[in-house]
Amino acid sequence: QVQLVESGGGLVQAGGSLRLSCVASGWPIENYGMGWFRQTPGKEREFVATINWSGGAHFYGDSVKGRFTISRDNAENTVWLQMNGLKPEDTAVYYCAEKKNYRGTTKLLRQYDYWGRGTQVTVSS
């Protein structure tokens, strides 16, 4: 089965930037929609961004619009999340997810089939 591994998290000052990577193994991601979610302790997992199979369609959660950008390279089985203008409220564990047998975008957590283990992003004031 597919394995998703996130990387690129860390500690950054408010206003700074980070670039998260999600590398998939097991099978190619070229036919599957992908997404990024985030979660803090005691809260529901929050939708961040989604991208369709070709990269031609993408949508973002209201709290990150204009600051975050999702992209993909199917040849490398990789999805990225570029995060600019980071705020302390962006602090969370960020998760990469894959929708099996579906090429489109979705904001619904329950529609994703596979998840990475997450990478911690901490934004200080």
Question: Taking Cα atoms as reference points, which of 11, 14, 8 lies closest to residue 86?
Answer: 14
Q: What is the pLDDT along the chain (125 residues), one digit of tens a residue?
A: 789 999 999 999 999 999 999 999 988 888 899 999 999 999 999 999 999 999 999 999 999 999 999 999 999 999 999 999 999 999 999 999 999 888 999 999 999 999 999 999 999 99
Contact by Cβ (8 Å): 52, 103: yes
pLDDT at 27: 81
Strands 10-13, 34-39: pairing kind: unpaired
Amino acid residing at 117: R
DSSP secondary structure of 50-107? EE-TTSS-EEE-TTTTTTEEEEEEGGGTEEEEEE-S--GGG-EEEEEEE-TT--S---
